[in-house]
């Protein structure tokens, strides 16, 4: 299902042009217009799902299969030194477009980006409590 008010639905379904590096029946992979690094791309499902939690399991699996096809080619042809797969859910986590997308971000030595987090130092008790909370 498409959402008529969603820009990524329009891009994924070809109503708005994009620099497409891969397409199949269910997905389009496009170059990000505000790339973190050279080659930064987005895997977009053609159907509208707001985020990872709304994504059916088979679509999630297929999105990873698309990444397995495209990321190695990008890494080799762009001579990247590393690669981040990033996927944001919710405004708090940095999601700005509310249509599921998986970021493919080639990394280069000294590319000046900082996509990693700041580690914290919880004690053993706190880790145990978190584990218990997740276990439910
Ligand atoms: P996120 O913050 O995870 O929701 O990522 C949204 C991404 O979409 C950002 O990296 C934007 O640069 C990118 N973006 C937004 N609009 C467009 C567009 N029309 N075409 C390509 N990329 C876009
Ligand atoms: Zn959409």
**The token pair that represents 23 in the structure block:** 């397409």
Assess whether pLDDT exceeds 90 at residue 40. Answer: yes
Query: Can you give the three-state secondary structure of 83-132, one letter per residue?
Result: EEEECCCCHHHCCCCCCCCEEEEEECCCCCCCCCCCCCCCCHHHHHHHHH
Q: State the distance from the centre of ligand 1 to the C-alpha of 119, rounded, in angstroms.
A: 26
Residue 1 has what pLDDT? 87
Ligand nearest to the Cα of 21, by number: 1
Q: Which residues contact 82 (CB under 8 A, 6 or more apart)?
A: 106, 107, 108
Quick: pLDDT tens for 69-122.
999 999 999 999 999 999 999 999 999 999 999 999 999 999 999 888 899 999
SS3 92: helix
| Atom 11 in ligand 1: residue holding the nearest Cα | 34
pTM above 0.95, yes or no: yes
Please, which pLDDT band fits residue 59 given cuts at 50, 70 and 90?
A: very high
Q: State the distance from the centre of ligand 2 to the C-alpha of 1, rounded, in angstroms.
A: 9
CA distance 45 to 42: 10
Quick: pLDDT tens for 100-115.
999 999 999 999 998 8
* Ligand 1 near 7 CB (within 6 A): yes
> What's the average model confidence in pLDDT over 57-62?
98
**The token pair that represents 77 in the structure block:** 């042809």
* Ligand 1 near 88 CB (within 6 A): yes
Q: CA angle at residue 51 from 48 to 54, to 5 degrees?
A: 75
CA distance 58 to 47: 13
Which ranges of 41-113 does DSSP label H, i.e. alpha helix? 57-77
Please, which pLDDT band fits residue 22 given cuts at 50, 70 and 90?
A: very high
Which ligand 1 atom is nearest residue 94's CA? 2
Ligand nearest to the Cα of 44, by number: 2
CA distance 48 to 115: 26
């Amino acid at each position: 299902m498409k959402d008529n008010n969603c820009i990524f639905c329009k891009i994924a379904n070809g109503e708005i042009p994009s620099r497409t590096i891969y397409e199949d029946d269910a997905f389009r992979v496009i170059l990000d217009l505000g790339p973190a690094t050279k080659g930064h791309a987005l895997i977009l499902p053609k159907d509208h799902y707001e985020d990872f939690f709304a994504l059916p399991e088979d679509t999630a699996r297929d999105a990873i299969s698309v990444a397995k096809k495209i990321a190695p080619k990008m890494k080799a042809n762009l001579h990247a030194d590393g690669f981040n797969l990033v996927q944001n859910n919710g405004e708090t986590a940095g999601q700005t477009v509310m249509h599921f997308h998986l970021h493919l971000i080639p990394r280069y030595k000294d590319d000046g980006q900082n996509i990693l987090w700041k580690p914290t130092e919880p004690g053993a008790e706190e880790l145990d409590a978190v584990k218990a909370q997740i276990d439910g």
